[in-house]
Structure 1
Amino acid sequence: MKKYILSFLLVGSMSFAQKLTIEETVLGPRKYAPTSLVAQQWRKDSKAVTYLSTDFANLLEKNAANGWKETTLATKAEFESALKSKFSEDEFSLRTFPTAITWLTKNTFETEVAGKKNNYKVVFDVTTKQITNAISYSIEGTQARFTKNNNVAWLKDNNIRITSNNKTIEVTNDENPAIVNGSDYVHRQEFGIDRGMWWNEAGTQLAYYRKDETMVGNYPIINWNEREAVNKDIKYPMAGMTSENVTLVIFDVASGKKVTIQTGEPKEQYLTMVSWEPTGKYIFIGILNRDQNHLKFNKYDASTGAFVKTLFEEKATTWVEPQHALTFVPNNPSQFIYQTDFNGFNQMYLYNTDGKLLKNLGFKDVVVTNLVGFDATNSKINYIGTANNGLDRQLYQVDIKSGKTLQLTTVSGTHNASVSSDGMMVLDQYSNTTTPNEISILNIKTKMANTTLVKAENPFTGKIDMPKMELVTITSADGKTPLNGRIIYPANFDATKKYPVMVYVYGGSHAQLVTNRWLGGGGYFDYYMAQQGYVVFTLDNRGSDARGKKFCDVNHRNLGVNEMADQMEGVKYLKSKSFVDADKIGVFGWSFGGFMTTSLMTSQPDTFKVGVAGGPVIDWKYYEIMYGERYMDTPQDNPEGYAKTSLLDKVKNLKGRLLIIHGAQDPVVVQQHSMNFIESSIKAGKQVDYFLYPNHEHNVGGRDRIHMYAKIADYFDVHLKK
C-alpha cells in the first residue's frame, strides 16, 4: 500500500492577499514552486555541480575553480545532433535535455533516450559533444537492464529478450500470460522489489524472476471506454487464498543454458534481496515464508543452482520485512552491507560472504532512508537518515572500519545531500517549515557553508495569503510515545471564534505525512481548506513510517485499532482548543486513509460528523496477500482480528454523512470493498454517498483531480461547515 498513497505536494505559509483556487490545489505546485536547481549533482572527479537550465534545454555547471559562476556544458541541440549523427537510421525529437544523467568520468555521462525505432542507453562526452558508447533495443521493450559489455535484457510482454551486438535472442517464450518472466511486478512489489532481472558483474549471466500465477484466480477490472465495456482480468491473490509461485532462473548468454535456483518448498514463499556476488560464482536470495515471520538469507551456486548455506536468519513474533538488496563494499567482494530493522531501526550491518557479522554500522535511533554511496577511498559510507523524532532528514557518514558516525548536515530540516568525489565538500539541499529551499556547498570538516547556490524566497509573497501552520507533539494512546502532528489554522484566524475541523489522515505503514519541510509536509488541498475556514489537522499515529519497527508493530493482527486510538488523542487535543467547534469535526483520507476514515466514522459516530473515504479498504480479507497478511496474518489464522477490523458490520453505527470515492478500475484496493460496504449500508438502512471515477485506478490524477477536490470541498461545506 505504501506505493499508492494519495500524495500531496508541499506549500509554504505567510499572510498576504489572495487564496488558492481549486484548480491550484492540483496545478499550483509548479506555479508556486520555490526556486531550485533541476537535477543538481556533483560532476565526477571535480569540484563542480551540474544541473539543468530552467527551460530544461541546457546542461549547466557551477565550479569552485571559477568562483561558482554558471557556465554551459552542453545544449539539447548538441546532444540531439550527436544522437542523429550516431544513429542516422533513427529519428529523435527531444523535448528537453536528459533529466536523468549519471556521470561516469569528469567529462562523460550516461543516460537513456528513445528514438522512433529504438530505445538507447548512451554515453555522451561534454567536451567533444559526441556519443562515445551506446546500447540499443527495440522501442517496444520495457524494464531494460544493461551490462558494461553492451548487452541489454528487456521485456516484450511477459517474456525476456537480450540484445547484444545488434542481435536479439529470445530468453523465454511463454505463451501463457500467467507465466511472467523478468518483471519487477513480483510479489506485488513488496519486500523492496524494484526489478525482475539482474546481470552478474561480467554481464555474461542474467538472473530473473519467473512468476507462475496460473493458480491464482482471475479478477475482473472493467474498462468502460469501449463501445461495449471490456473486462480486463488481473491476477489478484487475496488474503488467505492461493498465491503465486516464484522461482529464480539464471540464463547463460554464451551457452543459452538455464539453471533454476533450488529455493525449495513450499512454493508459496517470497524471494527477495536478490544479489550477485561480485565474482559471479554465487548468488544470494532472501527466502521469506508466507507467514512473513521467518527470513533465511541463503547463498546459492550460480552454475548449478544448488543451495550452499544460510548466512543468517531473522524471526519475529510480528513480521520480518526485508527491503534492501545487498550493497557490496567496492574492491572487496567478500564484504557487503545489509540493511535491516530487526534490532529496532533500519540500519546498516557489515557482513562477510560466509555470513559472519563484522560490524554494526548503526547510529543511535537513526533510520537509514537512503544509502547515498561510498567515498572515494571506499572506507566510508554516506547516507540520509532520520533525526528529530523522524521529522528531519540529515546526511550522515559512517567509517566502515571503526563504525564511527558523523552527522554532516546540521540545520534542522529535510536534507537531500551528497559528497563530492574528493570527500571534501557536501552539496546540500534542504527545506524546513520556514525555509522554502536552500542549496549550499558545505565544508565537510567545518559543516559550514562555503557558498550558497540557491536561497529561495517565499514563492507566495505578494500572491497568495497562506494560513499559519504549526507542528505539534501529542502523546500516543498508550501514554508512552510522542507523535508528530500538524495543524493549519483558518485564514484570518480569530482565536475567539469557533471553526470546523477537517482531519486529514493516512495512518498506515511506510507513510509519513508530517515532516519538517516546506511547510510541514502539508498539501495544497490542506491549505485550500484552511483558507475556506477550516482547521486542518494531521497526525502520524503509531504504525506510520520513520520511527522504527516497534512504532509499527503495535498494529499487528489489528489494523486500525491502535491507529484510531492515537487519532482520538489528536481529537482530544483539538477539543482542548477554544477555537475548535467540537460539533463540527470531519475526516478525509485515501487508501489506508480511506480505511481509517470509514473506521473513525463508524467507531466514533458521535465525534465525526462528515467523512470522505477515497479508495478505502473495507475488509482486509479482500486485500492482497503480500501486504495484508504481513499485518493481519491470514483470515484462517486471525478470524477475530479480521472480524474486529471489518467495516461491513460497522456501518450500522454510522450517524454522520459519509462520501466514498473509488476508481472504477482500481487494481490495488479493488472496487469490491466499497461495493460491499454500500450493500451493507442498504441492508442497515444507512444513507451513504458514493462516487466513481470510471477511468481511474487507485488514485485520481490529471485534471480529474481538480474535479475530485472540488467534490470533497463541497461535501465538507454542505454537510459540516454550514
Structure 2
Amino acid sequence: MKRFILTLTIAAAFQNLAAQEITLDKIYSGYYRGKGIAGITSMKNGENYLVIEQGGIAKYSYKTSQKEGNIVDGQFESYEFSDDESKILLLKESEPIYRHSFLGKFEIKDLKSGKTVTLNEGKFVQEPRFSPDATKVAFIAENNLFYQDLNSGKITQITTDGKKNSIINGLADWVYEEEFGHARQYEWTKNSDAIVFVKSDESEVPEIYIPIYGKTLYPSEMRYKYPKAGEKNSKVSAQLYRLDNGKITPLNLSSFKNYYIPNVIQTAKADEIVLITSERIQNASDVLKVNTKTGAVQKLFTETDDKWIDTDSPTLEFLEDDSFLWGSERDGNRHLYWYDKDGKLKKQVTKGNWEVTDYYGFNPKTKEIYVQTTEKGSINKVVSKVNIENGKSQLISNAEGNNSASFSKNYNYFIETSSTAAKPYTFVLKDGNGKLVKELQNNDAQLQKLKTDNFIEKEFITIPNEAGDQMNAWIIKPKNFDKNKKYPLFMFQYSGPGSQQVANSWDNGNALWFEMLAQKGYIIACVDGRGTGYKGAKFKKVTYMNLGKYEIEDQIAAAKWFGNQSYIDKSRIGMFGWSFGGYMTSLAMTKGADVFKMGIAVAPVTNWRYYDSVYTERFLRTPQENPDGYDKNSPTEYANLLKGKFLLIHGTADDNVHFQNSMEFSEALIQNKKQFDFMAYPDKNHGIYGGQTRPQLYQKMTDFILENL
C-alpha cells in the first residue's frame, strides 16, 4: 500500500513538472487562448458603442461603460448599420471563397419597427451595401449587381452579363481581391441615386486548375482565373448606373491611367465618386473625380514614385467640405497630405522620421485627425491626434507597444487595444485626450498561465547588415541561459515587401511554438532586413527589380553575426518561413548553404514567374522586362547548392502560392541528386489548417528540428 502511494506521488510530481512547460497539446487545445472584444462600433450619437456578445449585439455607454441592453438578440457573424442607424444588416450564415470574399445569407432588421427583411429571398449573395438613405441594399449574385428596395421588397437586376470565369460586375477578380485587399468593387453616391462599379472581363486571363481529392472515387477540379506575372489580366472598365433611368453608362477613362482600377470611393459630395487607377507598371496612380450626373471624369492629381505605389491600401479621406487627406511616401516616409476639393495641395499634415500606419478619422470641431504612427520607434505603434491647421500633435495612447483605437463618432472617447511582446492584449476605455476611464478587458489569466509554464520574454536588439543598416531583431533565449554555453539557433522570418515581424506586440501566431522550442534548448531569433516596412521608403524599396536578392543577403549576414556570438553554435543554425518566408528559407538553404544546417519552407514561391501579376510586377515589373530579376533570385536556380537538411511543405489546394512552386523546386533538387523531405497536405490551402492538420504539421516540424538541429 505504501509503495502504491509512493508511485502515485512520483507520478503526480512528473505531472506537475510537465505542467511547467509549453506544449503543442496545450497550444492547440486552446489552453492559452486569450480574450477579446468583438465587433466594436461607435453609434452615431457618440455616446454609445456596440459589441458582439453571446446573446446578440450589445449596447454600452461610453460614459458609464455599463451595458444598456441588446440592439438585436441572437447569433450573428457580423453586422453593419445603415448611415442613419435605422436599420442593421446581419450576416446569418457564410461560406468562404478566397482570402476576403465569401458567400453570405443576410437579414435586414428595421430597428424602429422591428420588422425583418430577408435579402435576396434568403439566397447567397456577396458584398451587400446599404444605400446612404437606408432605403435599399445593393449586392452581387452570380457575378451580377442587384439592389433590393427595403420598402417594397422589389429586387432590381442592374447587370445581366455576369458569368463565372468570364465577366464580373462590381466584384474583384482573384488577383484584385488578393493584392488590392478587398472584394467589393462598387460604391453608392452620397445621395443614393447612382452606383459606380468596375466591370472585369477575365475571359482571356489564363486559368489555373487545382485537383480536389476529397473522398470521392475521382478527384474533382477547382478552376479559376489567375494572371501570373507577365500574363494577361482582366480588362477593367468603370460603369455608371443611375437609378432614375435604369441605364448603365461606361465612363471614359481613355485620357487617364486605366489598366487597373483598384478603388471606388464615396466622397462627401452628393453626386461624386472617386476612382484610383494605375497603369500596369504601378509607379503612378491617378485620382479621378466622377460626376455621377453627367458621367464627366476629372483628374484631381497623379501620385508618382520612381519605384512603386502601394495601391492596395491607399489613405483617402474626404472631409465635410470635400477637401481630402491623402497618404504618400513622397518625402521618404508615409505621411498625410491635405488637398482641396479640386486636387490642389494645401499642406503636408504630418512630418518626421516616422510613418503614419493607420488613419482613424477627423474631428471637424477641433480640426484634429486621429492617426496611428511609429513616432516612438519603428517597432512600436502609437495613437496621436494632430491639428491639421497648425500641426500640433498629442500622444493619446501608451508610448510603447502596439496600440490601436476605435473612436466614438464625436471623438470624445476611444477604446484602445494595446499589447507588447511581453503582455497580451488589453482593452481600455479612454477619453479623447487619452485619459483612462476604465479597463474593459485584460488577459492577465492568459499571461499567468504562460508564466507558470516558464514563458520567456523576447529581447529586442539591432544587427548590422553589409550596407551599414541597423536591422531590427528579436531573440528568445532558453530559461537559465548560460552565456558560456553554445546554443543552436533557429531563425524565423517573413521578409516580404513592407512587412514587419519584429514588433513590440503580442503574437498569437507562431510565438508559443517558438517559446516551446526555446524550452527545448534552442535560441530563437527573427530579423527584419531590407525590404521590410516602417523604417522608411528607402529601406523598403531598395529591393525593387531584385526581389529576394538583398533580403537573403541580410538573413545570411544576420546568421553570420549570430554565429560570431559566443553563445551560438555556428554549425547549428536553422531557418523557418511560410509563403514569402518559405521562399527566403529555400534561398537560405541554397545560396546560404554554408551557413544554414537546416531549413523548413512552408508554401514557398520558388520562382516569381509562377506568382500573380499585380503583386510580382509591382516589385519586379514583368518577366519580359526583367528576366534576370526573376531567374537570378529563384531558389530553383541554386538547387545544386543544397547541403543541409531541408523540409518542404505545401498544401495541394493552395489557391495563392500554387503547389506547382514546390513541385518545380522538388524536380530541380531531384535532378541535382539532392536529398530532402517533402510533406504535401491534401486539399489544404495556403493556410494549411482544418481538423487536426495544424497539430500534425507543427509536430512534424518540431520533430524535424529536434532531429536535425
TM over 0.5: yes
3-state DSSP of counterpart to 2:589: helix
Where does residue 322 of structure 1 map in the other structure? 311
Q: What is the CA–CA distance in structure 2 between the aligned matches of 1:461 and 1:469, rounded to whole Å? A: 13
Q: What is the CA–CA distance in structure 2 between the aligned matches of 1:131 and 1:158, rounded to whole Å? A: 32
Please point out which of 499, 512, 517 is paired with 1:511.
499
3-state DSSP of counterpart to 1:690: strand
Where does the alignment leave 5 or more consecutive residues of structure 1 unmatched? Answer: 1-14, 81-93
State yes or no: 1:131 paired with 2:109: no
- The amino acid of 1:391's aligned partner reads I
Distance apart, 1:209 and its partner CA: 1.3
**Compared CA separation, residues 176 and 205, structure 1 to 2 (3 A):** same
State yes or no: 1:152 paired with 2:130: no
Please point out which of 539, 556, 562 is paired with 1:574.
562
**Compared CA separation, residues 362 and 557, structure 1 to 2 (3 A):** same
State yes or no: 1:20 paired with 2:19: no
- The amino acid of 1:708's aligned partner reads L
Per-residue CA distance 1:514-560 (angstroms, 9 max, x = gap): 21123698622222222222211111112122233222111111111
Aligned residues: 675
Alignment of 1:96-495 (within 5 A): 96=75, 100=79, 110-114=88-92, 119-124=106-111, 131=114, 136-138=119-121, 139-147=123-131, 148-164=133-149, 165-174=152-161, 176-177=163-164, 178-185=166-173, 187-189=175-177, 190-225=179-214, 226-264=216-254, 269-308=259-298, 310-324=299-313, 327-333=316-322, 335-375=323-363, 377=365, 379-445=367-433, 447-457=434-444, 459-461=446-448, 464-495=452-483
Q: What is the CA–CA distance in structure 1 between the aligned matches of 2:82 and 2:297, rounded to whole Å? A: 38
Where does residue 695 of structure 2 map in the other structure? 706
Distance apart, 1:255 and its partner CA: 1.2
Distance apart, 1:198 and its partner CA: 0.7
Q: What is the CA–CA distance in structure 2 between the aligned matches of 1:131 and 1:685, rounded to whole Å? A: 70
Where does residue 6 of structure 2 map in the other structure? none
TM-score by structure 1 length?
0.86
For the Cα contact (< 8 Å) 2:46–2:412, is it kept in 1?
no
Where does residue 73 of structure 1 map in the other structure? 69
- The amino acid of 1:659's aligned partner reads L
Where does residue 715 of structure 1 map in the other structure? 704
**Compared CA separation, residues 462 and 521, structure 1 to 2 (3 A):** closer
- The amino acid of 1:381's aligned partner reads I
- The amino acid of 2:227's aligned partner reads P
**Compared CA separation, residues 265 and 613, structure 1 to 2 (3 A):** farther
Q: Which moved more, 1:682-691 or 1:588-597?
A: 682-691
3-state DSSP of counterpart to 2:232: coil
**Compared CA separation, residues 337 and 122, structure 1 to 2 (3 A):** farther
3-state DSSP of counterpart to 2:320: coil
**Compared CA separation, residues 692 and 322, structure 1 to 2 (3 A):** same
Distance apart, 1:348 and its partner CA: 1.8
For the Cα contact (< 8 Å) 2:495–2:528, is it kept in 1?
yes
Distance apart, 1:338 and its partner CA: 1.6
State yes or no: 1:658 paired with 2:643: no
Distance apart, 1:589 and its partner CA: 0.5
For the Cα contact (< 8 Å) 1:366–1:387, is it kept in 2?
yes
Q: Which moved more, 1:341-350 or 1:502-511?
A: 341-350
Indicate the RMSD between aligned Cα atoms, in angstroms: 3.0
What's the % identity of the aligned pairs? 26
Where does residue 685 of structure 1 map in the other structure? 673
Q: Which moved more, 1:649-658 or 1:184-193?
A: 184-193
**Compared CA separation, residues 132 and 212, structure 1 to 2 (3 A):** same
For the Cα contact (< 8 Å) 1:209–1:248, is it kept in 2?
yes
Q: What is the CA–CA distance in structure 2 between the aligned matches of 1:615 and 1:606, rounded to whole Å? A: 23
3-state DSSP of counterpart to 2:582: helix
Higher relative contact order (CA 8 A, sep 6+): 1
Alignment of 1:541-620 (within 5 A): 541-620=529-608
- The amino acid of 1:121's aligned partner reads I
- The amino acid of 2:114's aligned partner reads I
For the Cα contact (< 8 Å) 2:488–2:521, is it kept in 1?
yes
For the Cα contact (< 8 Å) 1:251–1:258, is it kept in 2?
yes
Q: What is the CA–CA distance in structure 2 between the aligned matches of 1:145 and 1:49, rounded to whole Å? A: 21
For the Cα contact (< 8 Å) 2:593–2:642, is it kept in 1?
yes
Q: What is the CA–CA distance in structure 2 between the aligned matches of 1:461 and 1:373, rounded to whole Å? A: 36
Where does residue 675 of structure 1 map in the other structure? 663
Q: What is the CA–CA distance in structure 2 between the aligned matches of 1:432 and 1:555, rounded to whole Å? A: 29
Q: What is the CA–CA distance in structure 1 between the aligned matches of 2:169 and 2:78, rounded to whole Å? A: 30
Distance apart, 1:506 and its partner CA: 0.5
Q: What is the CA–CA distance in structure 1 between the aligned matches of 2:18 and 2:25, rounded to whole Å? A: 19
Where does the alignment leave 5 or more consecutive residues of structure 2 unmatched? Answer: 1-16, 95-103
Q: Which moved more, 1:647-656 or 1:480-489?
A: 480-489
3-state DSSP of counterpart to 1:216: coil
For the Cα contact (< 8 Å) 1:16–1:466, is it kept in 2?
no
Alignment of 1:521-532 (within 5 A): 523-532=511-520
**Compared CA separation, residues 52 and 304, structure 1 to 2 (3 A):** closer
Q: Which moved more, 1:110-119 or 1:369-378?
A: 110-119
Distance apart, 1:599 and its partner CA: 0.4
3-state DSSP of counterpart to 1:392: coil
TM-score by structure 2 length?
0.87
Q: What is the CA–CA distance in structure 2 between the aligned matches of 1:73 and 1:104, rounded to whole Å? A: 21
**Compared CA separation, residues 375 and 454, structure 1 to 2 (3 A):** same
**Compared CA separation, residues 371 and 220, structure 1 to 2 (3 A):** same
